[in-house]
Amino acid sequence: MNDIQTIFQTANPILNQIPCPMMILDLEGIVVAWNREAEKTFGYCTEEILGAFYPFIEEEKTFFYKDLWQKVLHSADPMHLEPITFHTKKGEVINASITLKAFTIDNNRYVYIQFNLDAAEKQDLLSFNEFSSIRDGLESSFMMLAIDQEGLITYANTLFLKHSNWTPKRIVGKTFWQMFPQTSESPSTVDMIWGSLQNGKQWKGEVEKITKDSQSYWVDLTAIPVFTTSKKPSSFILLENDITEKKRLQNRLEKIAYIDQETGLMNRYRLEQIVNQMITENHHFSFVYFTIDKFYSLKELYGDQAEQVLLQEFTHRMKMYFQDSSMARVSIDEFVVLTPLGEWFIQGFLTYLEQHPIYINNTTLPLSISGGISKFPDDQISFAHLMKASYAAIQKVQSEGGGSISSLSKADHKALYTKSIIEKRLLVALDKKDLKVLYQPQLDLRTGKITTVEALVRWDDEEIGTVTPDVLIPIAEETGLINDIGSFMLEQACLQAAEWHRKGIDINVSINSSVREFRDKNMVKQIRRILEDTGCPAKLLNIEITEKFALEAEAETSIIQQMKQLQNDGIVFVLDDFGTGYASFRYMQLLPLSQIKIDQTFISTIQYQPKSQKLIQGMIQFGKSINMFVLAEGVETKEQQDILTEFGCDAIQGYYISRPIEAKEIEKLILSEPSLSRS
Ligand code: C2E
Ligand code: CA
Ligand code: CA
């Protein structure tokens, strides 16, 4: 750095204060000072410009300014020049008038040059430059149209013209609306786009357009209102990308995805869309589900080729009879028709089929169909429920031999509806851990002590009220939510048993389990994990299974294996509701059971029926003979307890001892135990 540069360098903080771009050149036109505003405006930083030849004027043009330069150097007064065009480092254009003033330091002549950008230009400089580069980018990648307030086209870029076959001259002055096909939609998408632009809002979406010669094409359109000063947009820009190919492919894929190839009917997915649309638009209709009875036997009897004939002929008849209705094939031998017509008409289809038999190899095919009808909105109000209800109606028809069309009763529909609501609310309850556990004590008749409590699920829903286990459990089993209830109960029971254990109250907690839970191959792992996490000793956990469970477990060796592993850990298995099922001696030997619980139906008649007394006595003796602990449930009176004691029953459970109660109350009960020995 030479001396003079050092001088100007020292002056830099002062130069940087100057609110407009400036520079100082020496006699030769070499830059010796350059302020911050100049850096910002022209994009050159000080380091790269110091020592350079004045960079804004191309060297070959310098001679134009030669005279001027001499004049400036020799003048004592400042000079003003009208706006000159400059180029920034990026090549952008700036217009600025300049002020020049020569001065002397150390016998050397310098020229101070200040650029006077007009205020708007200065402010917009960046945005203008940015905008112009964005515009270049847009121009080269989108079809672009500019439209004035009235909807007249004022500009179209090359890509647009090429695509639409318009010439630049012809397109100007055409209207926005002329670019779209005439459609029957009302209000049409085109009006929607225009409306949204008028309101100063962008519109984005896929829309069909036409070329000058009315060829259709599809674009992905972004329509943008442009504001200058006023609040109302002054013009509009449309940016478009051609998506015709994508649309075509989509249509083809939709055909493949939504049409049943064998019959040409729509498939289940398309049916769902149509039904949902009809529901949204509140069209009333009957949802008619048909199934071909004994389809597989027909196939076997008449051969594979009969299947095709049957499907096609059946479809043909359905189309002839139901005409314009929407029809779908929803599985191999199942169809759905949506019709506004009444039940008498639908029933007529059976007669129609009889009158128009299907022939295979010149013999009539013995075709029988079953149908189920549900109505929207009278019976059900969603696609899934219309399907379910109609199918339930078919099952009813088939259980009576098939060959007819029927609908469910109001009560059936209501039950289905309730079920669906319970399903929905149960998910919420499980999520919020809204279920609760009550415990019912079992009294050991030999010691007079409470040694075990049964954990029973309770659910009070804020919307649907109390749902009893008798309603809840079957629904939960059907939907698979029983697994979640099971884990919840298991965890709660273990937490409770562990807490009591820590307090010195050693009491077993018995939970109810369904086969479904044991089908899960990870059941053992899960139970062990929960025992460990909650700190509950395995020997404090009882698991009650029902006879139905036992029957299925017998068939699935993995279930028995899992039970055996758990028994080895110390868990006690109890056979619940003993006597109500097909109690077989075989699975009592196969399964690792150690207790049986005689069902309450036997207990309730024990006082009055000598027969049931004999039966109960027999059950107790049987249990004892195979070394089982025998328990009786549903004990409501002292008389019942006395008889059971006399028969040698080990323990009892029932309202006489206590109803199912909260854990806290169980504690109280146990602490006041001596008074419990009611014998
Ligand atoms: P369960 O396992 O046989 O349970 C005994 C049922 O009888 C309970 O009904 C109990 O409240 C009731 N009960 C107890 N003592 C008496 C009595 O002296 N007289 C009469 N009349 N009834 C008595 P709850 O709680 O309504 O449970 C009904 C069934 O629901 C249970 O029958 C069980 O099969 C099932 N369940 C309950 N909680 C669960 C659970 O957490 N998981 C599973 N998988 N099933 C459960
Ligand atoms: Ca039980
Ligand atoms: Ca029971």
Inter-residue contact 488 to 433 (CB < 8 Å): yes
Ligand nearest to the CA of 454: 2
Question: What is residue 3's predicted lDDT score, i.e. its pLDDT?
Answer: 60
Atom of ligand 1 nearest to the CA of 440: 14
DSSP 538-564: GGGEEEEE-HHHHHHHHH-HHHHHHHH
Ligand nearest to the CA of 658: 1
Alpha-carbon distance of 367 to 292, in angstroms, equals 8
- The count of C-alpha atoms lying within 13 angstroms of the C-alpha of 85, restricted to the half-sphere facing its C-beta, is 5
Residue 9 C-alpha from the chain's centroid: 65
**Mean of pLDDT values over 251-278:** 88
Alpha-carbon distance of 220 to 293, in angstroms, equals 49
Which range (88-97, 203-212, 557-566, 645-654) has the least confidence? 88-97
Question: What is residue 46's predicted lDDT score, i.e. its pLDDT?
Answer: 85
**Mean of pLDDT values over 239-247:** 91
Is residue 128 pLDDT above 50, yes or no?
A: no
What is the whole-number distance in angstroms between the Cα of residue 604 and the centre of ligand 1? 15
Question: What is residue 635's predicted lDDT score, i.e. its pLDDT?
Answer: 97
Binned at pLDDT 50, 70 and 90, residue 379 comes out as very high
More confident residue, 371 or 35: 371
Residue ranges with CB less than 5 Å from ion ligand 2: 512, 544, 576
The residue with tokens 């009591």 is: 500
What is the whole-number distance in angstroms between the Cα of residue 597 and the centre of ligand 3? 7
Binned at pLDDT 50, 70 and 90, residue 674 comes out as low
Nearest CA to ligand 1 atom 25: 456
Residue from 512, 542, 575, 638 whose mutation best tests the ligand 1 pocket (most atoms within 8 A of CB): 512
Over the range 71-103, which residues count as b (16 or more CB within 10 Å of their CB) and which as e? ebeeeeeeeeeeeeebeeeeebebebebebbbe
Query: For all residues of the chain together, what is the average pLDDT?
Result: 87
Atom of ligand 1 nearest to the CA of 513: 44
Ligand nearest to the CA of 455: 1
Question: What is residue 339's predicted lDDT score, i.e. its pLDDT?
Answer: 96
Is residue 171 pLDDT above 60, yes or no?
A: yes
Binned at pLDDT 50, 70 and 90, residue 455 comes out as very high
Nearest CA to ligand 1 atom 15: 654
Which range (90-104, 169-183, 604-618) has the least confidence? 90-104
Is residue 119 pLDDT above 70, yes or no?
A: no
Ligand nearest to the CA of 456: 1
Is residue 123 pLDDT above 50, yes or no?
A: no
Residue 57 backbone zone (phi > 0: left; psi -120 to 50: alpha; other: beta) = beta
Nearest CA to ligand 1 atom 43: 512
Is residue 396 pLDDT above 90, yes or no?
A: yes
Alpha-carbon distance of 510 to 575, in angstroms, equals 11
Which range (73-82, 343-352, 654-663) has the least confidence? 73-82
Residue from 473, 515, 517, 607 whose mutation best tests the ligand 1 pocket (most atoms within 8 A of CB): 473
Q: Which of 160-164, 185-189, 297-301, 364-368 has the highest mean pLDDT?
A: 160-164
Residue from 435, 439, 456 whose mutation best tests the ligand 1 pocket (most atoms within 8 A of CB): 456
Determine which helix (DSSP H) or strand (DSSP E) holds 13, and give its type and residue range. Answer: helix 3-17
Nearest CA to ligand 1 atom 35: 469
Residue 402 backbone zone (phi > 0: left; psi -120 to 50: alpha; other: beta) = left
Nearest CA to ligand 1 atom 36: 469
Nearest CA to ligand 1 atom 26: 469
Question: What is residue 489's predicted lDDT score, i.e. its pLDDT?
Answer: 96
Name the burial class of residue 236, with classes exposed (0-12), middle (13-18) and buried (19+) by CB atoms within 10 angstroms of its CB: buried
Alpha-carbon distance of 395 to 372, in angstroms, equals 8
Name the burial class of residue 432, with classes exposed (0-12), middle (13-18) and buried (19+) by CB atoms within 10 angstroms of its CB: exposed
Strand 93-105 versus strand 508-512 pairing type: unpaired
Inter-residue contact 32 to 5 (CB < 8 Å): yes
Sign of the Cα pseudo-torsion (564, 565, 568, 569, in order): negative
Question: What is residue 59's predicted lDDT score, i.e. its pLDDT?
Answer: 56
Task: Please write the tens of the pLDDT for every residue from 597-614.
Answer: 999 999 999 988 888 899
Binned at pLDDT 50, 70 and 90, residue 385 comes out as very high
Strands (E) located in 359-464: 359-360, 363-364, 369-376, 405-407, 436-444, 449-461
Atom of ligand 1 nearest to the CA of 472: 30
What is the whole-number distance in angstroms between the Cα of residue 99 and the centre of ligand 2? 100
Nearest CA to ligand 1 atom 3: 577
Q: Which residues pair with 402 in a beta bridge?
A: none
The residue with tokens 């289809």 is: 349
Protein residues with CB under 6 Å of any ligand 1 atom: 440, 456-457, 468-470, 473, 485, 489, 512-514, 576-577, 600, 634-636, 654-655, 660
Neighbours of 310 (CB within 10 A): 20
Nearest CA to ligand 1 atom 17: 634
What is the whole-number distance in angstroms between the Cα of residue 544 and the centre of ligand 2? 6
Alpha-carbon distance of 432 to 449, in angstroms, equals 36
Alpha-carbon distance of 32 to 1, in angstroms, equals 10
Atom of ligand 1 nearest to the CA of 544: 2
Atom of ligand 1 nearest to the CA of 597: 3
More confident residue, 192 or 124: 192
Q: Which of 60-74, 75-89, 422-436 has the highest mean pLDDT?
A: 422-436
Is residue 677 pLDDT above 50, yes or no?
A: no
What is the whole-number distance in angstroms between the Cα of residue 482 and the centre of ligand 2? 15
Task: Please write the tens of the pLDDT for every residue from 522-578.
Answer: 899 999 999 999 999 999 999 999 888 888 887 788 899 999 999 999 999 999 999
What is the whole-number distance in angstroms between the Cα of residue 547 and the centre of ligand 3? 10
Task: Find the radius of gyration of the CA atoms of the chain.
Answer: 44
